[in-house]
A and B are shown apart, each in its own frame.
Chain A
């Protein structure tokens, strides 16, 4: 036991002391808010600095009305279309809109000319503008006014609640739970790959530097493997905690500096420069969102995250260690990586394709129970409310799963690390598995 601790300590220290660890640990939390903040800032600046564009309008119907806006200066030009086109093409103006005489029920033949292909949103914007005007004209004709129309409209909003067996109800919001599920599932996916690869790399390095023989004469190979896997895991946990702390500190500081609220909705609003009325309406929504967020059992999710991260990592870390022990170079490892990576990728795809559309469906259930996919999928499902028995079953199976893979990997590892230059295939791996010590 004492020696496993020595191995863990060495694995941990040798990684944490590296300059690259320090760099990545500090840079990542700096980089993410910097990128997000930078983009928000640019978007705001872009909106502010937009130049006034001149749009020629040739309106043969003479029933439409073009008022200048912040962004567009409409100039009514004279026909016919050919001369208007000629004039526009010589100018450096933004666009030419041609509106022929048309019937209100069938507005056809409206054209938009520009020097470069316009974006979809741009043309759509003009379409909306014209549609709104035609609608107004039609309204006037039918004798209705805006107010009457507004009275006809009824807004329906369904509030969804989670009803527990005890009868407590808590408000749910699929947007928020989706967000949590997505982030948690993806983080685990990311960690499995990054730290799994580190374990494999470490084993290959040890094998290549030929120090293994000295080490295994003092430590059981299985203990050595466990020490390595746990050592790398503790690096991961420490790095994760530092990231979380740094990201929250920097985010708060950064948001404050930009004068932005932490809430993404509000931020988006500021970018769009929405008017006062909708902002009040949105503020209510924001508060509701905040209530939902505060309803989320953060402690439970964090604890489950740590459990599924460690469980999934032990399960896959052991397999990565076994692959590392069987090969001489990272290139040789490719052939054995596929069967390990496949379930991880299936888990992430299952999360997107099955869990988010139908979190309690059959496939979602099975993916969150099977240990090879459960770390990612269960973290994705957790926000949608998972019955306790399912959670317990999934956790027990995950523990059983990593005990199994640790045992399996240990049997390959003990033989593999002492083999040099052997061409290894699955048949040989199976032989090692069966071989007595």
Chain B
């Protein structure tokens, strides 16, 4: 079941095409990574989902119904460019933003306080935003994004501006929200957090979607049948069905060799061949990281995969 269904959305700004025919389904209760280089059209898509702007063509279904203003209370949005009213107090600000998302004043205040307690920042309730550090203000913004318990949470670079401790804290909160039933669209350039958090991934490049699927499926698709072998005693030589790509000394008399094999062949056969040549200490298939996939796709090194 998908919470959000984007159907061939296009959007252009006078001469510039921001999105062309982008479709995707965002499954319920998952963390959905929306990736792409700067200027690819991610922000445009996010703004269209938030109904800040309208697409020229296409439609969006939220929970099966065409997206409309009623859905604002079911969406939480943390934009990349973020800020708060500097002269307002933390409490007033949270109550106001909660009210804008459809909470009553009382409920908004109650939930704001509960979240501040949870993140251990209740002491700041009466302080003005301008007196807080950037990281502190980020936490307030995170609370404002999720306090109305939205079904869909859109986070654009949520970890920027956080130190590692707080980034971890927010990461745990995001996972907890997902486990409680929220669906999260997560837009970022930091591939290690995609690796850690995302269940699904879609990638946009030059206004078009070039990749979409579960993280496991994508990794499976991008396997290229290369293996990393650590061994002692001499160099490995290419044989039938496999080819040595390169080798390097890694100390302790060990050599690490990258071997090209086929992605559907049985690794046992390769291992048997290699055991004959050297003393094998480690043998592992090289699974591409999201970072590798991102870079290779964006650089267009795999044009044949771009259609996938």
Contact = CB atoms under 8 A, between A and B. Distances in A.
B9 interface: no
Given A14-B87, A209-B84, A209-B86, A214 B99 contact: no
B51 A10 contact: no
Contacts of A213: 52, 77, 79, 81-82
Interface residues of B, number: 29
A211 B83 contact: yes
How many interface residues does chain A have, given as a range? 20 to 34
B81 A420 contact: yes
B52 A6 contact: no
Contacts of B75: 217
B171 to A, nearest CB: 21
B96 A214 contact: no
Contacts of A437: 53-54
B78 to A, nearest CB: 8
B50 A217 contact: yes
B216 interface: no
Contacts of B56: 436
Contacts of B5: none
Contacts of B51: 217
A218 B50 CA distance: 8
B100 A6 contact: yes
Interface string B211-226: 0000000000000000
Nearest to A212: B83
Interface string A189-220: 00000000000000001101111011111110
B40 interface: no
Interface in A162-177: none
B244 interface: no
A217 B82 contact: no
B100 to A, nearest CB: 4
B147 to A, nearest CB: 13
A431 B72 CA distance: 29
Interface string B1-34: 0000000000001100000000000000000000
A209 B141 CA distance: 13
B14 A217 contact: no
B97 interface: yes
30 contacts: A6-B96, A6-B100, A10-B96, A14-B87, A18-B87, A208-B83, A209-B84, A210-B81, A210-B82, A211-B82, A213-B52, A213-B77, A213-B79, A213-B81, A214-B77, A214-B78, A214-B141, A216-B52, A217-B50, A217-B51, A217-B52, A217-B77, A217-B79, A219-B100, A418-B47, A418-B53, A431-B14, A435-B14, A436-B54, A437-B54
